[in-house]
Structure 1
Amino acid sequence: MNLHNTSYPVSSGPEELVPSRYALKIGEIDVLVVSDGVLPLPTKMLAHNADPAVRATWLHDMFLPQDAFDWALNAVMVRSGGKTILIDAGLGSDPNLNLPRAGQLIRRLAAAGIDLSAVTDLVLTHLHMDHIGGLLVEGVKQQLRKDLRIHVAAAEVKFWEKPDFSRTAMPEGFPDALRSTAKHFLKEYGSQLRLFDDEHEIAPGVIARRTGGHTPGHSVVRMASGDDALTFAGDAVFAVGFEQPDWFNGFEHDPEEAARVRIRLLRQLAETGEMLVATHLPFPSVGRVAADGDAFRWVPVFWDY
């Protein structure tokens, strides 16, 4: 595996005195993980089906607070076969939910010297607001290409026509915000959608695959070139999901299926040794998966800079 941290122009200012992008090579494919910031959320949402005492012990052992902590928000830029691909678009403007430290993606892409007009394709793992909201920031649509192709699973678009939140466990206000953001997105960008059923090649070596579970059309994106491969898992995997893969996340619309998807994906990655990046793993979230009995272990890569 050849990790290659590319140099990009940066803007000065104290607001950027945090790591917010990490570049690597997957064979001939360029990958840039970009932080959209963090989401402060209740810890119960990590595992609402777990015994509270067991959940408290896990948080204690991980040196995490018991009430709430910051979930990372990561997106990925990919260059392959002459295409520039953005995978997920971050939260965007704060949707009245007191999330001031998220929604940084557009600013950080600019700081990395990436012009939005250069993006030829956009892949959405699903239509939760923290994955599509960046597209709804004022002025962003005007910067994007008129022929931008937005790839998303057909089952995902169908779901948001009449979303079912009966199996989720979200804080007050989130279901309404998710519903309204998805509706707004589909109205703004519906004509640019390129729907797929189960699997779709976006560019050479870049394949989106529907997994379902988290949402009916949730998808992952695998990048493979030569002997190297990396999967962007979206919301299929959370930090707690390695040691406790059967714990239910509050945003999962089908928790049992989400657990099956998570276990299947982690088992595959443990067997192949391929790398993993996910939306809500601590930035830059690049690492591998090791099997640990019936559970798994996260093995982050050593930073190359």
Structure 2
Amino acid sequence: MSLDNTSQPGRPGSEELVPSRYALRVGDIDVMVVSDGVLPIPAPVMAHNVDPAIRAAWLEDMFLPPEILEWPLNVIVVRSGGRTILVDAGLGMDPDLHLPQAGRLGQRLEAAGIDLASVTDVVLTHMHMDHIGGLLVEGVKDQLRPDLRIHVAAAELKFWESPDFSRASMPQGFPDALRRTAKRFVNEYHNQLRPFEDEYEVAPGVVVRRTGGHTPGHSVVRLASGGDRLTFAGDAVFQVGFDRPDWHNGFEHDPEEAARVRVSLLRELAATREPLVATHLSFPSVCHVAVDGDAFRCIPAVWDY
């Protein structure tokens, strides 16, 4: 796996004039953050339990558009103990949703010199389609190893047998797309699935831990090597979650529990001072967490050139 985080002339995808990969090390563990593009989402989805005027004021204060937000989509590739681990797999392509700026993972892995055949493990933070869809792109399964292991919480698999969206507040079309994608994923990859209950060490220093909240089996990935640490938080934290951790995201299946998980995780990361990476924070999303009264601050890490 190449860990060069700059575009090189002549490489596939080098015509893109946007940063799409960023490499760092956690002790002896190699990590690369890879962008899958951006996902346009109606602004009310980020906080459906607050007065629209309050939400609009926050968006204005943050220099964000009032109606449609472009959520970044980040995954990470981790190398430890001879294993290459893909954490989440991006959106892939769902023609019914018309999302042309997302689903870039395949070309960006190729541009980074990462061969799908080298991936030994996939870890899923949860089974929303923007985390599993990349594995359903035509031709991808044929490139993956037959002994690929896909790690996902048993509670997540159970939930998607008959998903309950009664407490979510998603845009039109998304519930059906989520059900359809999860069902297809389980059908195509059931032989590779390796469910875990609460925690599982995928490779030396690479531990996936179930948190619940966002979905019943939502999990985070904790990396540790030497004295270094890093947490990939999946969808436990969104941009607004630092300032307003009690605001409910429309994709959360248990909003109160999701808020509790978010606050607990952010307090822990503020105490340990370890870096955080999350799916929907601005690429490459590497940041630190500081406590600010009853809220938190996201302190972006200085890019390591």
The residue aligned with 1:243 is 243
The residue aligned with 2:45 is 45
* Deviation by residue 1:34-83 (Cα, 9 ceiling, x = unmatched): 00000011010110001111111110000001001200000000000000
The residue aligned with 2:274 is 274
Matches within 5 A, 1:15-26: 15-26=15-26
Q: Is the 8 A contact 2:13 2:107 kept in 1?
A: no
The residue aligned with 2:207 is 207
TM-score (norm 2): 0.97
Matches within 5 A, 1:95-110: 95-110=95-110
The residue aligned with 2:55 is 55
The residue aligned with 1:261 is 261
Matches within 5 A, 1:94-243: 94-243=94-243
TM-score (norm 1): 0.97
The one-letter code of the counterpart of 2:196 is: F
The residue aligned with 2:295 is 295
Q: Is the 8 A contact 1:9 1:112 kept in 2?
A: no
Give every structure 1 segment of 4 or more consecutive aligned residues whose post-TM-superposition deviation is greater than 6 Å: none
CA distance in 1, matches of 2:68, 2:22: 26
1:15 is displaced (CA, Å) by: 4.8
Further displaced range: 6-15 or 46-55:
6-15
1:8 is displaced (CA, Å) by: 7.4
Further displaced range: 21-30 or 91-100:
91-100
Q: What is the percentage of aligned positions where both structures have the same residue?
A: 72
Q: Is the 8 A contact 1:47 1:250 kept in 2?
A: yes
CA distance in 1, matches of 2:292, 2:4: 30
1:130 is displaced (CA, Å) by: 0.2
CA distance in 2, matches of 1:177, 1:129: 8
| 3-state SS in 1 of match to 2:190 | helix
Q: Is the 8 A contact 1:125 1:131 kept in 2?
A: yes
1:94 is displaced (CA, Å) by: 3.0
* Deviation by residue 1:124-146 (Cα, 9 ceiling, x = unmatched): 00000000000000000000000
Query: Where do 5+ consecutive residues of structure 2 fail to align?
Result: none
1:95 is displaced (CA, Å) by: 3.9
1:9 is displaced (CA, Å) by: 5.6
The residue aligned with 1:31 is 31
* Deviation by residue 1:159-209 (Cα, 9 ceiling, x = unmatched): 000000000101110000000000000000011101100000000000000
Query: Where do 5+ consecutive residues of structure 1 fail to align?
Result: none
Q: 1:28 to 1:14 in 2, by over 3 A?
A: closer
CA distance in 1, matches of 2:15, 2:150: 31
CA distance in 2, matches of 1:214, 1:283: 21
1:304 is displaced (CA, Å) by: 1.5
1:219 is displaced (CA, Å) by: 0.2
CA distance in 1, matches of 2:16, 2:224: 31
CA distance in 1, matches of 2:13, 2:40: 24
Q: 1:290 to 1:137 in 2, by over 3 A?
A: same
* Deviation by residue 1:224-263 (Cα, 9 ceiling, x = unmatched): 1111100000000000000000000000000000000000
| 3-state SS in 2 of match to 1:288 | strand
Q: Is the 8 A contact 1:200 1:207 kept in 2?
A: yes
Q: Is the 8 A contact 2:12 2:110 kept in 1?
A: no
Q: What is the alpha-carbon root mean square deviation over aligned residues?
A: 1.3
The one-letter code of the counterpart of 1:302 is: V
CA distance in 2, matches of 1:79, 1:245: 32
